[in-house]
């Protein structure tokens, strides 16, 4: 490969934030920083949305459709392409999406200004990717299909080369090596790119990697030598750590190697850097654990992706608190976060092969991590491994979301059969029937506008729970309460007492938020939204939550919720706790009648909180 080959850069602005912490900037912040990014003059592409972007906007009460339209506009005007993530069968969320919603997704995102969709499947099942090629072309978009890179006995150079060939033959315009954990080995990645370019020299190849484990700079050099066309980069202060290699270092390395690379306007670079710091000071920094700014080769063994590690460190605070509550109650020594992290990494390495080697990328990285973390938590509390498996995790292991790369462990096969669970080998999309009509009906009944290009209909259909919370105002209230709590904790970190109450302003109205002894803020009530219901006087046995999360009576809009007065059977699913982005089914522990439902859907719950009462 001639060293004068041109290599172009793509700024993964969305992923920079998601890999650092929990939230992304508000639309006013995005619009303000866009001109400076353009002025840097070195980016052919910018990742503007996709993946967590949509849900994250909803979580802090902002309309993601308005954000995407405003955010992509300045890049189009400057001739810079915009791209986003598409999780294939899962669209923009953690769970499978009906085909009609996936089709609308492409229509909406093209209309909003997105040029390229990077489609991937965490199982690397091409049946979940190929339909998106057609949807992209119908919508007038560029279809970039991904090879989800991981390191296992199954995921070889030949495996990835054959997958790339299949996707190109199916119509993919471009190929992305999505090295989401940064554990792809440089030599092997170079061979994969060389194989693709040898057969399809005109198909653009883009490389995406995370810095965490330490391979990324060597990998970037190897793939570029093999013919890679685009490299994803980050920038200060969100580069390195669980994020991405910094554009300054990548440019200098490739320039020295003889590649043609764009120059960087350093005045603009510093302006963007300054604005990112300002965004962190405003609110985003309260959700960025300091450890996420560090690189750590301990990540090589578990292979967890950088994007997930960003939120994992935030989640671990809650998980550690739950474990230590139990230990304190039973007179045991508390666990440190380092101890929990090592136990988690070891358990990931243990469960991953047994779960069939799914690629450790959203949502399956979360499934493997969640399963490992649940095992650790249960075993620390004296319970057995595999004693609580979320429905979404079962669906993956049973083949409902696609074919596992490896074999499911015999112990899990036996457990599935003992519980009467069915294995699947059909096209995964066939398990999820069209649903737009019922969502359209819900919007009409609520008097909600379908939105420009049906974008509001799409948002409800893609993220039902989050969209309803956004529309009611509950999402904004919950976020403001949590942010106020975090600000108070930081202000009091010098030793001052944490205030018992906080004043939170949402939509021009002020709310009083009471803090628990542990310093956690319960959900604040927004106008027209019922506050968490106190347990109604009811007789019977308490059904308590086995973990912290959010309470829901149903998982899907078509499900029928349990009501007070209903008769239920022992083992029957009566509600769900959403924790770590998966829904955990909670079953009745006895036959009887539901005499009280103690929470509203969407309410936050702690471990051992009473969910409902059932009289036998």
Kindly report the CATH number assigned to the domain that includes residue 568: 2.40.50.100
Of residues 105 and 319, more confidence is placed in: 105
> Residues 339, 287: one domain?
no
> What does the pLDDT look like over 508-538, one tens digit per residue?
555 445 444 433 444 444 333 333 333 344 6
Residue that the structure tokens 């509203």 belong to: 600
| One domain for residues 241 and 124 | yes
User: Exposed, middle or buried, 441 (CB in 10 Å: 0-12/13-18/19+)?
Assistant: exposed
Cβ atoms 549, 607 nearer than 8 A: no
Identify whether 285 is part of a domain.
yes
Residue 268 domain-assigned? yes
Q: Are residues 253 and 333 in the same domain?
A: no
What does the angle CA 589 – CA 591 – CA 592 come to, to the nearest 5 degrees?
110
Residue 495: give the domain boundaries. 473-514
Residues 356 and 208 in one domain: no
Verify that 98 and 188 share a domain, yes or no. Answer: yes
Specify whether 131 is located in the same domain as 245: yes
Q: Are residues 146 and 85 in the same domain?
A: yes
Domain stop point among 272, 293, 314:
293
Q: Which helix (H) or strand (E) holds 612?
A: strand 610-615
d(CA 191, CA 157): 7
Bridge partners (DSSP) of residue 46 are 11, 82
How many structural domains compose the chain? Answer: 4
Looking at the structure, tell me whether residues 362 and 232 fall in a common domain: no
Is the same domain home to 327 and 315?
Answer: yes
pLDDT in tens, 3-52: 579 999 999 999 999 888 888 899 999 999 999 999 999 999 999 988 76
- H-only helix segments in 63-154: 64-77, 99-112, 126-138
In a domain, 486, yes or no: yes
270, 321: one domain: no
In a domain, 119, yes or no: yes
Q: Is residue 328 part of a domain?
A: yes
Is there a single domain that holds both residue 151 and residue 59? yes
Read off the pTM: 0.81
> Looking at residue 602, what is its pLDDT?
84
Q: How many CB atoms lie within 10 A of CB 496?
A: 9
Short-list 610, 609, 541, 607, CA closest to 327: 607
**Does residue 18 belong to any structural domain of this protein?**
yes
Boundary-marking domain end, from 258, 293, 328: 293
Q: How far apart, in whole angstroms, are the C-alpha atoms of residue 250 and residue 264?
A: 11
Contact partners, residue 211, CB within 8 Å, separation at least 6: 182, 234, 239, 240, 241, 242, 243, 244, 245, 295, 306
472-490 pLDDT, tens per residue?
888 888 888 888 888 888 8
What pLDDT was estimated at residue 312?
A: 62
Q: What is the CATH number of the domain that holds 285?
A: 3.20.20.70
**CA–CA distance, 577 with 70 (Å, rounded to integer):** 35
524 located within any domain = no
Domain boundary among 293, 327, 343: 293
C-alpha torsion 14→303→130→72, nearest 10: 10
In a domain, 392, yes or no: yes
Q: Which residue has the tokens 């358990």?
A: 347
Say yes or no: 312 and 279 in one domain.
Answer: no
pLDDT digits (tens, 9 = 90+) for 188-237: 999 999 999 999 999 999 999 999 889 999 999 999 999 999 999 999 99
């Amino acid at each position: 490969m001639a060293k004068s080959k041109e290599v172009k850069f793509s700024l993964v602005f969305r992923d920079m934030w998601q890999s650092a912490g929990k939230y992304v900037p508000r639309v006013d912040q995005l619009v303000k920083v866009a001109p400076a990014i353009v002025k840097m003059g070195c980016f052919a592409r910018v990742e503007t949305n996709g993946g967590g972007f949509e849900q994250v906007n909803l979580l802090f009460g902002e309309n993601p459709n308005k954000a995407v339209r405003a955010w992509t506009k300045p890049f189009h005007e400057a001739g810079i392409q915009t791209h986003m993530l598409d999780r294939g069968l899962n669209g923009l969320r953690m769970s499978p999406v009906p085909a009609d919603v996936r089709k609308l997704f492409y229509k909406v995102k093209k209309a909003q200004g997105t040029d390229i969709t990077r489609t991937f499947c965490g199982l690397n099942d091409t049946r979940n990717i190929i339909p998106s090629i057609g949807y992209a072309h119908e919508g007038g978009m560029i279809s970039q299909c991904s090879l989800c890179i991981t390191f296992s006995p199954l995921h070889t150079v030949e495996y990835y080369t054959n997958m790339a060939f299949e996707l190109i033959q199916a119509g993919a315009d471009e190929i992305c090596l999505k090295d989401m954990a940064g554990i792809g080995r440089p030599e092997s990645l170079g061979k994969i790119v060389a194989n693709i370019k040898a057969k399809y020299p005109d198909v653009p190849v883009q490389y995406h990697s995370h810095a965490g484990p330490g391979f990324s700079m060597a990998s970037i050099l190897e793939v570029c030598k093999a013919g890679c066309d685009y490299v994803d980069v980050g920038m200060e202060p969100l580069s390195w750590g669980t994020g991405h290699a910094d554009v300054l270092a990548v440019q200098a390395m490739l320039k020295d190697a003889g590649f043609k690379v764009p120059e960087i306007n350093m005045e603009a670079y510093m302006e963007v850097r300054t604005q990112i710091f300002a965004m962190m000071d405003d609110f985003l920094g309260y959700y960025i654990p300091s450890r996420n700014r560090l690189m750590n080769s301990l990540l090589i063994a578990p292979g967890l992706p950088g994007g997930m590690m960003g939120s994992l460190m935030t989640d671990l605070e809650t998980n550690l608190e739950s474990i230590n509550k139990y230990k304190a109650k039973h007179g045991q020594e508390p666990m440190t976060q380092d101890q929990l992290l090592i136990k988690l990494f070891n358990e990931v390495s243990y469960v991953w092969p047994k779960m069939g080697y799914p690629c450790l990328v959203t949502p399956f990285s979360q499934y493997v991590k969640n399963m490992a973390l649940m095992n650790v938590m249960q075993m620390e509390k004296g319970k057995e491994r595999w004693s609580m498996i979320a429905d979404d995790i079962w669906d993956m292991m049973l083949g409902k979301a696609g074919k596992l790369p490896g074999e499911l462990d015999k112990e899990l096969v036996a457990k599935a059969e003992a519980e009467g669970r069915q294995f699947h080998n059909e096209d995964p999309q066939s398990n999820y029937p069209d649903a737009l009509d019922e969502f359209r009906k819900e919007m009409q009944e609520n008097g909600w506008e379908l939105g420009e290009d049906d974008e509001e209909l799409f948002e409800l259909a893609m993220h039902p729970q989050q969209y309803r919370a956004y529309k009611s105002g509950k999402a904004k209230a919950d976020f403001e309460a949590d942010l106020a709590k975090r600000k108070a904790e930081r202000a009091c970190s010098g030793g001052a007492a944490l205030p018992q109450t906080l004043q939170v302003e949402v939509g021009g109205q002020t709310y009083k938020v009471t803090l628990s002894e542990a310093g956690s803020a319960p959900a604040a009530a927004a106008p027209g939204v019922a506050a968490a219901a106190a347990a109604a006087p009811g007789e019977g046995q308490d059904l308590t939550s086995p973990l912290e999360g959010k309470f829901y009576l149903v998982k899907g809009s078509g499900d029928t919720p349990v009501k007070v007065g209903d008769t239920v059977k022992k083992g029957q699913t009566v509600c769900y706790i959403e924790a770590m982005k998966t829904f955990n089914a909670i079953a009745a522990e006895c036959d009887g009648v539901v005499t009280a439902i103690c929470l509203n859907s969407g309410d936050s719950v702690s471990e051992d909180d009473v969910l409902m009462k059932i009289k036998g």
